[in-house]
Amino acid sequence: METFAEARELVDHPGFTAERERVLAGLVLEDIDAPLRGLVRGFAALPCCFTLQCCYGHFVNAAQPQPDNLEPLPPGGAGSVRYRIAYVALCIENSADGRCLYAALSELPAIDPAYLQFGSPDWFVLQHPNSYALQVEPLRLAEQDEAVLPYREALHVQRIRNRFFARLEELVAARLAELRAG
């Protein structure tokens, strides 16, 4: 996110429902990285938000040169790795449920604050009020969409990415369970 910024406060957004319906009507799950399809489907079932973009994170190196590589880095590698950031960007409704989701999402960087950020990228906010992103990226590179990392650091980023997405899936599943319980 070349314009990543601190998380903004939720504001009133009267067009949220219509915007959500429009975005969800255009959602094509096959265009999303396969490991994230269930997560995006889960967010779509939460009425207080909708996803804007996401990426599972791609580790590109000599052994795995495809730019959209989804294979994990093998342990014990060497050299450098081009990392295309893992992130989820979404728009959140300014409602009780939305504020609860915002609070839960804002706690996720505690997984590893040096490698996981929660904020409001400027270019999303200009398109959609109440836009937020969680991204897995070394803090020193938080404003970049991709970075070249030493292999050992790339392995650490991969571990954080995996923990982050697992925790995010748990969070969405818990919210969906609360909705069903009514």
Q: Distances from the Cα of 12 to the Cαs of 8, 17, 95, 98, 125, in angstroms?
A: 12, 12, 9, 11, 13
Q: Is residue 96 part of a domain?
A: yes
| Residue 168 in domain | yes
Is residue 126 domain-resident?
Answer: yes
The number of helices, as runs of H, and strands, as runs of E, in the chain is: 5, 7
Q: Report yes or no on 77 lying in a domain.
A: yes
Distance CA(139)–CA(128), nearest Å, equals: 25
Domain of 91, CATH number, reads 3.30.1960
Kindly state the helix (H) or strand (E) to which residue 181 belongs, with its residue range: helix 151-181
Residue 121 has a pLDDT of 87
Residue span of the structural domain in which 75 resides: 16-181
Domain assignment present for residue 7? The answer is: no
**Assigned domain for 11 exists:** no
User: Which pLDDT score, from 0 to 100, does residue 21 have?
Assistant: 97
d(CA 171, CA 66): 31
The per-residue pLDDT for 101 is 97
- Residue 144 contacts by C-beta under 8 Å, 6 or more apart in sequence? 2, 85, 137
Within a domain: 4:
no
Question: 151-154: long-range contacts (C-beta < 8 A, 24 or more apart)?
Answer: 151/61, 151/73, 151/77, 151/78, 151/79, 151/80, 151/81, 154/59, 154/61, 154/73, 154/81, 154/83
Domain count of the fold of the chain: 1
Q: Which residue has the tokens 């392995």?
A: 155
| Rg, C-alpha atoms of the chain | 16
Query: Do the domain assignments include residue 8?
Result: no
pLDDT mean for each 10 residues of the chain (182 residues): 78 95 96 97 97 96 88 90 96 97 97 96 86 95 92 97 98 94 84
